[in-house]
Structure 1
Amino acid sequence: MDLASLTQTWTYPTKIHFSCGSSKKIGVFCEEAEILKPLVVVDQQLIKNNLINPIINSLITYKIPFELFAEFEENPTDESVSNGLKSFRKNNHDGLIAIGGGSTIDLAKAIAFMDAQSRPIFDFEDRFDWWRRANSKGIRRVIAIPTTAGTGSEVGRAAVIKDTKDLRKKLVFHPNMLPVIAILDAELTIGLPKQITAATGIDALVHNLESYLAPGYHPIADGVALEGLKLIKNNIEKAFQNGDNLNARCAMLVGSTMGAIAFQKGLGGIHALSHPIGSLLNSHHGLTNAILLRYVLAYNYTEVLEQLACIARYLNLEGGEPKSLVEWLINLLETLEMPNKLSSLGVDETHIPELTKMAINDQAAASNPRPLEASIVSSIYNDALQGKFKL
């Protein structure tokens, strides 16, 4: 590669506060972000289990007026964004606090972004330079507090929003969509069930893995991805087996954030094939990624041997070879009790044509190490449906 001929822009501007219990200081962070009247976008389940009470108490202590917005789907849609925007404008809010998983944070980011726009949300889908259509002035500030270690949306420049017209999940992008502050408080992840811990953890792993394997020159992202993979390797089983292991929870939360920092380099086929399944069947994103991981990796295998070997050596896997990494990944999925067939998500043969059509048009397909043509994608889906895996 002729480095002297490259022109790249690498951006990592979000301030990250990492500390157990730091979410209880949200009043301080609102002052820091100059947010005087936030709309708090929060998962309904967090309200029911009182997890957000210390955060709310901090806002009250600092005399910061706020409103809760929790009426939205697990996979937020363009209608969710519209409803949130109505609440935001009706009560004259000047910023947002997002508390929850990646979908909740994505929704808050989309509301903050759309408050400054006059065009429909999908006019800013992550295609070509569509983000340049946006009015970049007036995008509202967001403080993100993740309660799962998975998507890393707290440092992401995009939001995954489902289109209610064609049922596709679409990536809405703008460089200024980033939260101004991310609060990594691992205490908020202690209550996660084992299954969610596993699925979100694999999502974080896949972010780091796919970004490292993505073609292109981004040594900063590559370094972040490698260390993110190491953190996850050393802690995901600990967090799964003992959800009260705070050190493991801390490491997983950081590994998740690192995955999202890294994937500005690109993602790949796992995400490209996963997004359509989530759109059509509302499957859990991390769980879908977990099933597809081995099958997409098998297709890419010969193209990324050098990178796989590098990861294997960095993770100190026995043999330090590409197969060492693949074997470890498959063993990990089994340990985490992840299914290995798409049929477990309700996928059948009749879904494959539509899934294939959606996958080849997914933004993540463009940065897969090998071309993802329709016949290839259909074949991968069929293998994943039947559990046929071979390197």
Structure 2
Amino acid sequence: MNNRQIFLTHQAQTTDFPLMIEIERAEGVYMYGPEGKSYIDLISGIGVSNVGHRHPKVIAAIQNQLDKYLHLMVYGEYIQSPQTQLAKAIVETLPPSLDNVYFVNSGSEAVEGALKLAKRYTNRAQIISCVNAYHGSSQGALSVGGNEIFKRAYRPLLPGITNVVYGSFTQLSLITENTAAVIMETIQGEAGIMVACKEYFKALRNRCDETGTLLILDEIQAGFGRTGKFWAFEHFGIVPDILVCAKGMGGGMPIGAFIANKEVMSVFKDNPLLGHITTFGGHPVSAVASLATIRVIQEENLLEKVEQKADLIKKLLVHPKIKGIRNKGLMMAVQFESFEVLKPIIDKAIELGVITDWFLFCDDSMRIAPPLVISEAEIEKACEIIMEAINC
């Protein structure tokens, strides 16, 4: 059997209509098929390849670590330089109150850890999350998701979950002294890039403070420079109690983390001890790739041109079929009249060599989230292809 047949026969499927694009190699913003056809990856593997595919500094860090060691011990027992140096580098990007990092393998795992941490620290059970939120597909993460279509087949899920509307001031009153945590995407991703105002985040922070509720911000998609600041919460003048990240932090390697202050994180140490455990969390190869990713973002000044590149995309994508563009930096949603209008455009763009997508809870909008290293010439080429696809 060829790879296509093996994929369909032996690899577990998530839909009846996978994209079925075979990729042989990738570099920068490009992916290449077996016959050499090139594709501009305009979605970064869904928010992962912030520094591009196979960035030379990330590859060099991985190769160097391969000559030292791979997995040694379950997380939290041995002192491993890849983990300690990454933790230090992450903390240096953050306000002083976020000084303790727990490494895991993915965004879903980071959300699970953050939820456990909040419940354990506050000794409360209620969790508030948002309508049309997406935090992952493991059971706890799914429980705080905000779309019943994805949840109903797996109930019963975690009890005590209340959904509120992202950006609604009036519903902040639902946060009470019984609430362990509010978990919220700083910028709603799968809802189609929804951005609340600064005043809302200030009011949210104040309400959490008044009630002793921990604020968990999910920056699995929005973190590591995607919005033009290293962390998206920097746009809004607040600081969360727990921060969740993954996707873009690994430079293409699997890694996630939840971050709090040392006092909050210390509750995992007793009653019971080993209150949260991961075997592969902070895997040394992933950790050095993440550290290299941070260095690339900083040393190549990738944040400086994010807004300029986003503005160029908005300038080039003007068409009667485009109803509007929502964005925070290079986290963008291009809205069309309906999914029926959008889907053929996406299909044609892929055929012409540009990979884009729609959103789980917003299927009338095209996802654009290219690697931060994308050049203006590559943006112009990608947008030209999208415009051609619209006009077909």
> Normalising TM by the smaller chain, what interval?
0.3 to 0.5
As a proportion of its length, which structure holds more strand? 2
Q: TM-score, normalised by structure 1?
A: 0.34
